Structures are given as structure tokens and as C-alpha cells.
Structure 1
Amino acid sequence: MLREVSGQRSLKKNLMLASSTASVAGMTNVVGVLAFLSFVSNITGHVATLAGKITEKNLSEVYTVAYWLFMFFFGAFVSNFIVKSLDYKSTYFAHGAPIVLEIIILLGVALYGNDVYNGSEFQREAITGAVLFCMGLQNGLVSRISGGLIKTSHLTGMVTDLAAELSDLVHPNAETTRTLIEKIYIRLTVLGSFIIGGILGGWMFNNIGMATFYVIPLVLMTILLYDVYPVLLHRFIKSFKS
């Protein structure tokens, strides 16, 4: 799922990447709203909020929203930097490293949220920034390895692209191509998986609270293990036979 780069990826691998990462984004976003009263992937909304706070001259809120925007940006920056730095060693290692970092941070959020978090404004703003960093990491990675085709939390652009592609599909003067149909499948998969992830995240938060942040890293771990499991299994069988 993580090994292939843009241009080498099959529709199956793109659909698996889209469904798994979009469900994580949906789950994280809904849990972020319920736990910290703020969206953790809605950059468009945060930019609009920033403009409003600047107009109101509410400097404390301006600094907070600017910090959130920076954390998402910085997450995407770090993700791309890691991939570019490690790509010479192994594609899987390079693509897996941002996911590992995301898992570590989300586990930290889970531990802090369950044992330390008391609902103070400072804590809420700081943790929201950490989760936004994770979403930047993930979105930057998925966008890079899919050649910009998949963006797991950029639903505004996703819906826009889907509308344009569906328009091309039904237009009497347009040629229906396999590439166009595959893009539509992927867009629909991202949207559906984000919604399903959000529903599951809300349901889990209502039942186990902050412990939901322990579940999200487990989903991310399955993304990592999907590629490495066949390699480990092959090595185990080879060593067993020898």
C-alpha cells in the first residue's frame, strides 16, 4: 500500500490507501471536535476564522488559529522532507516513517488526554495543534505518493474534483476513459471512508471517551503492516525451510 509511488500504483492499491487513511482522517476529525471543540483538518474553516479574528482585533485568538494553521502546514512540510531524505534507502521505509511519527504523536495525545487533560484553554489549543500536525503529516504523505490524486482531509477540493469528473462522465461530448472512472471511484472512496470513519469515531468517543485516540494508531499500524507482513512471512518460511 505504501511501497509504490505515483505512476506505479494500481487502482486497488489507491483505493486501499484512500479508504484507510480517509477513515483515519474522519475518525480523528470527529473525535477532535468532541474532545477539544475544534476541527483538526478543516484548514479552509481555520483560515476564515483567522480572517474574522483579525477583523475583530482579537489577538489571542489570532495567535491560536495561526498556530493551528502552521502546525498543519509544518506537518505536511515534515512529511515531504522525511520522504525525500529517506527515499534513497527504501521506498517503504521513507513512506512509513511519517506514519510512525503520526502514531507516536497520537499515542502521546491519548496518554495526555486520558491522564492529564483537564479541559483548560491552553491544553485544548496545544493538543489541537498536535493533532493538526498529524493530519498534515498524513495528508502530505498520501498526496505525495499518489501524485496528488488522494488528499484524505481536503474534502472541499475532493468534492470539486468529483463534480467536474462526473460532469465529464455524463457529458455527451466527452470521452469516457478508464482513468476518469478510476478517479471517480477514488474520490467516492475518500468521501465515503471519511464519513464512515467519522461515524465510528463519534460512536467510540461516546463509549470510551479519550481512549478513542488509542484506537486510531491501531488503524495506522495496519497500514504499515500491510506491506511489511508479506516480506516477514516470506523470510520466516524461508528460514523455517532452511
Structure 2
Amino acid sequence: MIAPHRHIRRPIISARVLVGHRRSAGSDFALARILAFIAGAANAGGFFALGQYTSHMTGYLSQVADSLIGGRLVVLGSALLAISSFVAGAALSSLLINWARSRKFRELYAIPLALQGFLLACFSTGGILSGPVGHLFALACLCFIMGMQNATITKISYARVRTTHATGMVTDIGIECGRALCGAVFPGSGVSADRAKLRILLTLVGTFVLGGIVGAAGYAALGFLFSLPLAAVLLGLSVPSLLRG
């Protein structure tokens, strides 16, 4: 008979493996799937709360250009806030990881994930604040989280994965499909698709979409409070490692 405490220890050990400093392709992929799901769900929450997708920095950069020409200063300020918050989140994630690495802290990726979980919990209170203040708080908070998450998984996977950068992943899927088509049409070309890479990309895009579906339904039913389960996942991944020290 398996002791009850072993059932508790197993998920804790799994969480430590996922965020530990000793990386493998398997642990990178597993963590990327979790973060892609959360990114998709949080992105849906951004649309629910703000009417726009908070991981889409290309759109905000376009808004900066459009609003400058059109003289829409409020839209300009909102777009600049979103971009600066995303950049600040990415910068803080990089700072925390490099600081932990310099101190030889074993679970160096747990710190930014824990902070993202805490911030998602803070985002759940966004519904309390009404009017422009609430809108700007939610926008800045979620863009900051998205920047942190994208930078964290980028650092963990050595730039192999970016969970919020769906445009890049879809582009890579197209490239691999083109390589497969080239190999089929011109067998002697020596060109073929990287099937392993294509599988990973399709899985991450599918997970992001699934997270968006769940997030859209969750935020429609619970509002900002749906951020709490997402925060719990991130904290569940990171806190066991932090407690271990």
C-alpha cells in the first residue's frame, strides 16, 4: 500500500522538475504547454476585461502610429502603457532569473513564476476598480504578466519557445509545411519538414487556443475571479521549489 504522503510528494516533485535549473527538452515542453494554456486563458481575460488582447504587442505598436496621426491621445497613452508594461515585465523576469543564477539559487525559474501567480491574483481584483482607473490597472497588470511569462519561458527554453508569441509559432508551422510540400513535390531536393518541431508547434498553438476557449468561458461566468485558478496553477508550480530553498 502506498503511503498517503507519497501522493502529496509526487506533484511537488513534478513541480520542482518543471521549474528546476536542470533542464531537458521534455520538461521545457511540459512547462511550455502549461504556460501556453494560461497565456491563452489570460489573453481571453484581457479581451473580456478590456476589449483587446494584451499579448498582441504588434497591435499596440500599430495603435501608437495610428493614434499619433489621428491625434487620439487617450488611445496613444493606453497603447504606450501596454507596451511599457509588457517590456517591464520581461525585463523584471530576466533580472530575477539572472540574479538567482548569480547567487547560484537552484530553483531560479520559480521566482518569476511565483510573482506571475501573485500578479494574476491581483488582476482578479480588477473588477473592484471601476472607470478609467480600473481599466488602466487591468491593462498594465495583464500586459506586465504577459511580458514576464514570455521572457520566463524564453529564458528557460533558450529561446526555443515563446508562449505568447502565437504569430511566430504559426509562421514556423507554415515554414515547416512548406518544407514538407517541397520534399513531396521535389523528392530530390533533400528538403523535409522537422516533424518533431512541427508537432511541438501544433501542440502549443492548440494549447493556447484551448486556454483561450476555457478562459473565455471562465471569465464570462466568473469575471475577474477566474484569474484565481490560473494564479493557483502558477503558484503550485513555483511555491514548492521556493519552500525547498
TM above 0.5: yes
**SS at 1:81 equivalent:** helix
Matched, 1:124 2:135: yes
Contact 1:14 1:186 in 2 (8 A): no
1:198 to 212, 215, 218: 212
* Partner Cα separation in structure 2 for residue 209 and residue 122 of structure 1: 18
* Partner Cα separation in structure 1 for residue 182 and residue 233 of structure 2: 39
**1:125: how far off?**
1.8
Contact 1:117 1:123 in 2 (8 A): yes
* Partner Cα separation in structure 1 for residue 225 and residue 59 of structure 2: 27
Name segments (4+ residues, structure 1) moved above 6 Å. none
Within a 5 Å distance, the mapping from 1:88-107 to structure 2 comes to: 88-90=102-104, 92-107=106-121
* More displaced 10-residue stretch of structure 1: 163-172 or 97-106: 163-172
* Partner Cα separation in structure 1 for residue 56 and residue 83 of structure 2: 10
**1:117: how far off?**
2.1
* Partner Cα separation in structure 1 for residue 150 and residue 70 of structure 2: 31
* Partner Cα separation in structure 2 for residue 99 and residue 9 of structure 1: 18
Which amino acid in structure 1 is aligned with residue 41 of structure 2? M
**1:103: how far off?**
1.1
Residue equivalent to 2:186: none
Structure 2, unaligned stretches of length 5 or more? 1-17, 184-188
Aligned in 2, Cα 1:122/1:196: closer, same or farther, shift over 3 Å?
Answer: same
* Partner Cα separation in structure 2 for residue 121 and residue 183 of structure 1: 43
Matched, 1:54 2:68: yes
Which amino acid in structure 1 is aligned with residue 190 of structure 2? A
**1:142: how far off?**
0.3
Residue equivalent to 1:9: 24
**1:228: how far off?**
4.2
Compute the TM-score of the two structures, normalised by the length of structure 1. 0.84
* Partner Cα separation in structure 2 for residue 86 and residue 194 of structure 1: 29
Alignment length (residue pairs): 222
Percent identity (aligned): 23
* Partner Cα separation in structure 2 for residue 90 and residue 184 of structure 1: 35
Which amino acid in structure 2 is aligned with residue 9 of structure 1? S
Matched, 1:158 2:169: yes
Compute the TM-score of the two structures, normalised by the length of structure 2. 0.83
Within a 5 Å distance, the mapping from 1:66-77 to structure 2 comes to: 66-77=80-91
Residue equivalent to 1:78: 92
1:113 to 114, 117, 126: 126
Residue equivalent to 1:32: 46
Residue equivalent to 1:174: 190
Aligned in 2, Cα 1:3/1:171: closer, same or farther, shift over 3 Å?
Answer: farther
Structure 1, unaligned stretches of length 5 or more? 233-242
* More displaced 10-residue stretch of structure 1: 132-141 or 95-104: 95-104
* Partner Cα separation in structure 2 for residue 174 and residue 121 of structure 1: 57
* Partner Cα separation in structure 1 for residue 116 and residue 212 of structure 2: 18
* Partner Cα separation in structure 1 for residue 43 and residue 177 of structure 2: 27
Matched, 1:144 2:166: no
Aligned in 2, Cα 1:171/1:3: closer, same or farther, shift over 3 Å?
Answer: farther
2:232 to 195, 201, 218: 218
**1:105: how far off?**
1.2
Aligned in 2, Cα 1:175/1:223: closer, same or farther, shift over 3 Å?
Answer: farther
